[in-house]
Structure formats: C-alpha cells, structure tokens
C-alpha cells in the first residue's frame, strides 16, 4: 500500500514492534521478515486482543501490528484501547478484509495505517518506517506531557494562563466556495498572510479534509495534523496544539489537514470536532482563517455556525454565481445576519477578449442581493509561480500591482471590519438559532 520508500529518517533508532494475531504462523511469518531489518525489533507477540492490550501497556512499543479478526476481543476494539492507553504507540492494522468499512472503523479508533494480507516484505518495511516517522513527533510530545504533568490532567487552552496570548480577538474567517477551483485555497492562504502585521497573530487552518492542498501551496509537510487533535478533542492541550501547528517560511502559522483523504473519516465521526478545536484555540489568535472544501457536510455546517465571517468565493461564471446564490439562500433561511457573509469575486478576466464572457460584477451583486466586496483579477502566471515556489502572492514587494493589490485589499478590508469596528456581536462567533445548515435534510443528511 505504502510505497513511500526507504529508511526515512529513522536515524539509527531501533523501532520496537508488538505483533498481535491469533494465528501463530502469521505472527512467525512477520517476525521472520522483520528479523532481516537491522532497524526493527519484535519485542513481544500476543495471540488475543486482550493480551495485545496488556502487552502494549507494559512494553509501550513504537508500533503494534494488529490483526482484525480475533476471538475474545477483535483488533478494532484492541486498537481503540491501545491508542487511548498508550498514545505513544502507533497501530498498523492488518487484515484480509481490505474493504472500506474495516478501513473506516480502523481509522476511527486511531489506527495509523492499514495493510492487506498477504503483505509483501517491501510494503511491510516501508509502512513500519513511514508510520514510525509520522508518529514520532506526536509520541515525543505525549511523553513530555506525561512526565511534565505526572498524572495531573492537562488543561484545556482556555484554562491555560500564558500572558496576553490567551486573550486575543479570535475572529474566525471561513473561506468557502460551492464551486471547485474557484480559488479558496489561494484566497485563504493569502488572506492569512495579508492579515499578519505587527502584534497580530494569525493562524491558517486547512479544513478541506479530503483534498486539502494548503501544504502543496505553501510547500510544507507536517507529520501531525488536525486529525491528531480531533482524536483528543475532549481534552485538547495547548502544548500539543502548539506542537502540531507548523510555521511557514513567511512566519505564517498553519494547522495542516489530513495527509490522506481516508483520515477524514476520523473527523466525520465527530462532525463538530474541527469547529470545536478552532473555538478552543480561538482566543490565542486574532484571526483564524479556515480553508474549506466544497463538499457540504456537517463539519462544514459546524464551521459556518462558529464563523465570525464567511468569505464566499464566486467566479464570474453562471455556474459559480448560481451555486453561491443557493448557499446564500440557505444562510438566509438559517437566520445568519447579512454581514456574516462577504462576497469575493475571483478570477475576473483582465483580458478584453475574455471579459465579454464574464458576468459583470454589477449583475452578480444584483443577483446575489449583496455587494461584491472585492474583485480579484485572474493572473495565471502570478498564481502558478507563487504555488510552484511555495510562496504567497502577497509576499511580493510591489503591493500596488494586481493581483497582489486586491489580495491585500481583501485582507485590509477584513482587518478593518473586524478589528476596527469591533462590537460585542462581531467579536464573538455567532451561533445561529436554527442549529446548522447541514443538520437539515436539504442535503439528505440528518443528525
Ligand atoms: N486570481 C487567480 N488568477 C489566476 N489563477 C488563480 C487565481 N486564483 C486561483 N487561481 C488558480 O486556480 C487554481 C485553483 O485555485 P485554488 O486551489 O485556490 O481553488 P480552490 O477553490 O481551493 O480549489 P479546490 O476546489 O481544489 O479546493 C489554482 O491553480 C490557482 O493557482
Ligand atoms: Mg482548495
């Protein structure tokens, strides 16, 4: 499954492994394969789920390789108990059933990876090393926390006193478009960067859980993501949060989305997890800018509910505008105040030949019954150059030039609206009366 390659940064460390499988030959097979690898060591093996949990607690291995079908306690239940009790351990599930349902259930209880039986040597080695490397940072963080707190429950961010860093404005700006490719990620990344200024703390969150590409745009990889936070959303800890947030070369703080689409399942189980995480850390930042995917689900509905402002991105095309109108009608029905949303038109053609195919912004405003607040011109070269270098468009020195100018105009507008005329109602995320767009059955979903 994972072909990501050779020994990736295990740095001469020995990866300790516990095998859990009810079939002795299966355990023996894996053990033999692992014996060839100098950086791996099987430290224990168990024939039942229950025994596996007990040994994991005792040995605290780096990795558990877990069979799914076992008598007494199955692999999924055992994984749930191990990831709870020994968070420093990462579990790799192994099963002949490679169907979606198993995969989902395994990921939901905290498994890090899923291997289909029979497994090839290469797949086994690569998966063990890559899961070890991915989990390492988080595991170290858990170890530090455990020794620091020595049994005392860790505090939620809201309870942690850390100077004025826990008393920030906490404006949550959700960037959304019902149209794929309209420019949400481009706008969210540049808006977050544009909002950064002296004394202001901004955080960019990739909440496009399935196909988020903030990491690609900014050329950053993270070993830990929002999914790791979602797993422990009940007792979220500031220190853990700070360790998961990565810093882009520009200084921008970023909370990355899942590394694989399958991990989104973890969050789907608890659709309000992402909104809850953001709310919990909101008072540590002045602005939290949230990039979203177009897929309408309850996670998105919960984000809309807690947003201080929703930036709705349209392109000057019929399809783009029609769908934005549909979303706005829903917002109206939910009783969202008009100033909760803001229309931004992106990819407006500058070329005269193309302009005649674009819908003029006055017509769009009329149709949407809201003003188009910022119009960002289309500039493929600038957008692609920035993306290929992993830099932001607004990082260009000449801010008087389009489209840098318009991206900055958007950032300045939001800054002034939110920080300049801050009222009680604006300062707090609004939770609307109706209880959320996607809990209605309009998209075929009920809660
Ligand atoms: N103003 C612009 N001018 C030219 N190209 C742009 C502009 N804004 C975005 N793009 C380009 O359009 C493509 C899609 O942009 P982006 O990924 O930001 O959209 P998205 O809404 O996040 O898409 P997705 O639905 O995939 O999440 C990218 O290649 C980006 O570089
Ligand atoms: Mg995107």
**215-241 per-position pLDDT tens digit:** 999 999 887 889 888 887 877 777 788
**Residue at 422 is within a domain:** yes
Atom 31 (ligand 1): residue with closest C-alpha? 383
**Residue at 295 is within a domain:** yes
Atom 23 (ligand 1): residue with closest C-alpha? 181
72 against 381, higher pLDDT = 381
65: left (phi over 0), alpha (psi -120 to 50) or beta: beta
The strand pair at 246-247 and 253-255 is best described as antiparallel
Q: Which atom of ligand 1 is nearest the CA belonging to 403?
A: 1
Ligand nearest the Cα atom of residue 316: 1
Ligand nearest the Cα atom of residue 182: 1
CA 66 to ligand 2 center in whole angstroms: 35
Q: Which domain holds residue 123?
A: 15-149
Residue 156 binned pLDDT confidence (cut-offs 50, 70, 90): very low
Q: What mean pLDDT comes out for the span 1-19?
A: 65
Q: Which atom of ligand 1 is nearest the CA belonging to 217?
A: 17
Q: What mean pLDDT comes out for the span 22-45?
A: 95
Residues 391 and 424 reside in one and the same domain: yes
Residue 447 pLDDT > 70: no
CA 233 to ligand 1 center in whole angstroms: 31
**Residue at 28 is within a domain:** yes
**Residue at 166 is within a domain:** no
Longest dimension (CA), the chain: 73
Ligand nearest the Cα atom of residue 295: 1
Residue 326 pLDDT > 80: yes
Atom 13 (ligand 1): residue with closest C-alpha? 181
Q: What mean pLDDT comes out for the span 340-356?
A: 92
Q: Which helix (H) or strand (E) holds 427?
A: helix 424-427
Residues in contact with ligand 1 by the CB-under-6-Å rule are 177, 180-186, 208, 293-294, 346-347, 376, 378-380, 383-384, 387, 403
CA 339 to ligand 1 center in whole angstroms: 25
N- to C-terminal Cα separation, the chain: 34
* Across 226-230, 314-318, 368-372, least confident range: 226-230
CA 224 to ligand 2 center in whole angstroms: 20
Residue 101 pLDDT > 80: no
The per-residue pLDDT for range 81-98, each reduced to its tens digit, is: 898 788 889 999 888 766
**Residue at 3 is within a domain:** no
Residues 238 and 338 reside in one and the same domain: yes
The per-residue pLDDT for range 385-422, each reduced to its tens digit, is: 998 888 999 988 788 899 999 999 999 999 999 987 54
Atom 3 (ligand 1): residue with closest C-alpha? 378
Domain boundary among 117, 149, 181: 149
Residues 195 and 83 reside in one and the same domain: no
Q: What is the number of other CB atoms lying within 10 angstroms of the CB of residue 421?
A: 8
Give Cβ neighbours of residue 93 (< 8 Å, ≥ 6 apart).
66, 68, 75, 76, 79, 102, 106, 111, 113, 114, 115
Its pTM stands at 0.70
Residues 229 and 194 reside in one and the same domain: yes
CA 3 to ligand 2 center in whole angstroms: 26
Mean pLDDT of the chain, nearest integer: 84
CA distance 133 to 278: 27
**What token pair was written down for 268?**
């789907």
* Predicted pLDDT at 226: 92
Residues 211 and 359 reside in one and the same domain: yes
Residue 432 binned pLDDT confidence (cut-offs 50, 70, 90): very low
Atom 19 (ligand 1): residue with closest C-alpha? 183
Ligand nearest the Cα atom of residue 313: 1
Residue 139 pLDDT > 90: no
* Predicted pLDDT at 157: 35
Q: For residue 54, what is the domain's CATH number?
A: 3.40.50.2300
Cis amide linkage into residue 118, ω under 30° from 0: yes
CA 166 to ligand 2 center in whole angstroms: 29
Residue 26 binned pLDDT confidence (cut-offs 50, 70, 90): very high
Residue 147 binned pLDDT confidence (cut-offs 50, 70, 90): low
Ligand nearest the Cα atom of residue 206: 2
Residues 246 and 380 reside in one and the same domain: yes
Residues 264 and 371 reside in one and the same domain: yes
The per-residue pLDDT for range 256-274, each reduced to its tens digit, is: 998 888 788 778 778 899 9
Q: Which atom of ligand 1 is nearest the CA belonging to 377?
A: 1
Q: Which of 174, 177, 181, 391 to mutate to test the pocket of ligand 1 (most atoms within 8 A of CB)?
A: 181
Residue 114 pLDDT > 80: yes
Q: For residue 324, what is the domain's CATH number?
A: 3.40.50.300
Residues 89 and 220 reside in one and the same domain: no
Residue 163 binned pLDDT confidence (cut-offs 50, 70, 90): very low
CA 431 to ligand 2 center in whole angstroms: 25
Share of the chain above pLDDT 90, in %: 54
**Residue at 163 is within a domain:** no
Three-class DSSP category at 155: coil
**Residue at 412 is within a domain:** yes
CA 292 to ligand 2 center in whole angstroms: 7
Residue 319 pLDDT > 80: yes
Domain boundary among 118, 149, 180: 149
CA distance 365 to 345: 10
Q: What mean pLDDT comes out for the span 141-146?
A: 70
Residues 288 and 208 reside in one and the same domain: yes
Residue 41 pLDDT > 80: yes
CA distance 152 to 188: 38
**Residue at 6 is within a domain:** no
Atom 5 (ligand 1): residue with closest C-alpha? 380
Residues 84 and 220 reside in one and the same domain: no
* Across 16-20, 137-141, 337-341, 441-445, least confident range: 441-445
Contact call for residues 133 and 11 (beta carbons, < 8 A): no
Three-class DSSP category at 208: coil
Q: What domain count does the chain have? A: 2
Neighbours of ion ligand 2 (CB under 5 A): 184-185
Residues 288 and 434 reside in one and the same domain: yes
Residues 318 and 248 reside in one and the same domain: yes
């Amino acid at each position: 499954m994972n072909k990501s390659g050779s020994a990736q940064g295990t740095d001469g460390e020995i990866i300790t492994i516990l095998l859990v499988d009810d079939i002795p030959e299966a355990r023996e097979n894996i053990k033999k394969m692992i014996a060839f690898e100098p950086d791996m060591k099987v430290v224990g093996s168990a024939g039942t789920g229950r025994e596996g949990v007990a040994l994991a607690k005792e040995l605290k291995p780096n990795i558990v390789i877990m069979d799914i079908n076992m008598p007494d306690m199955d692999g999924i239940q055992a994984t749930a108990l191990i990831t709870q009790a020994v968070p420093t351990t990462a579990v790799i599930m192994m099963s002949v059933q490679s169907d979606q349902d198993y995969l989902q259930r395994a990921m939901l209880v905290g498994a890090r990876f899923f291997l289909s039986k029979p497994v090839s040597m290469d797949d086994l080695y690569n998966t063990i090393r890559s899961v070890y490397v991915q989990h390492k940072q988080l595991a170290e963080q858990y170890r530090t926390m455990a020794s620091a707190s020595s049994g005392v429950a860790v505090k939620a961010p809201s309870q942690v006193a850390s100077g004025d860093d826990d008393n920030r404005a906490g404006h949550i700006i959700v960037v959304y478009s019902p149209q794929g490719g309209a420019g949400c990620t481009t706008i969210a990344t540049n808006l977050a960067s544009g909002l950064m200024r002296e004394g202001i703390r901004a955080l960019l969150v990739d909440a496009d859980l399935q196909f988020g590409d903030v990491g690609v745009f900014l050329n950053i990889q993270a070993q830990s993501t929002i999914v790791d936070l979602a797993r422990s959303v009940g007792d979220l800890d500031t220190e853990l949060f700070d360790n998961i947030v990565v810093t882009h070369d520009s200084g921008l703080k970023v909370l990355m989305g899942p590394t694989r689409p399958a991990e989104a399942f973890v969050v789907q189980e608890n659709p309000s997890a992402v909104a809850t995480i953001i709310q919990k850390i909101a008072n540590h930042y002045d602005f939290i800018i949230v990039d979203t995917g177009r897929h309408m689900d309850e996670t998105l509905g919960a984000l809309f509910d807690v947003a201080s402002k929703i930036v709705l991105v349209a392109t000057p095309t019929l399809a783009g505008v029609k769908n934005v109108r549909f979303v706005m009608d829903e917002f109206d029905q939910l009783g969202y105040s008009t100033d909760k949303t803001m229309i931004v038109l992106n990819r407006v053609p500058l070329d005269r030949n193309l302009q005649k195919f674009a819908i003029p912004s006055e017509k769009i405003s009329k149709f949407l019954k809201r003003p188009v607040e910022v119009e960002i011109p289309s500039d493929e070269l600038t957008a692609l150059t920035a993306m290929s270098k992993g830099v932001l468009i607004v990082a260009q020195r000449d801010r008087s030039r389009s489209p840098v100018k318009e991206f900055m105009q958007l950032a300045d507008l939001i800054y002034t609206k939110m920080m300049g005329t801050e009222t009680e109602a604006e300062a707090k995320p609004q939770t609307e009366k109706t209880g959320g767009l996607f809990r209605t059955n309009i998209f075929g979903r009920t809660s």
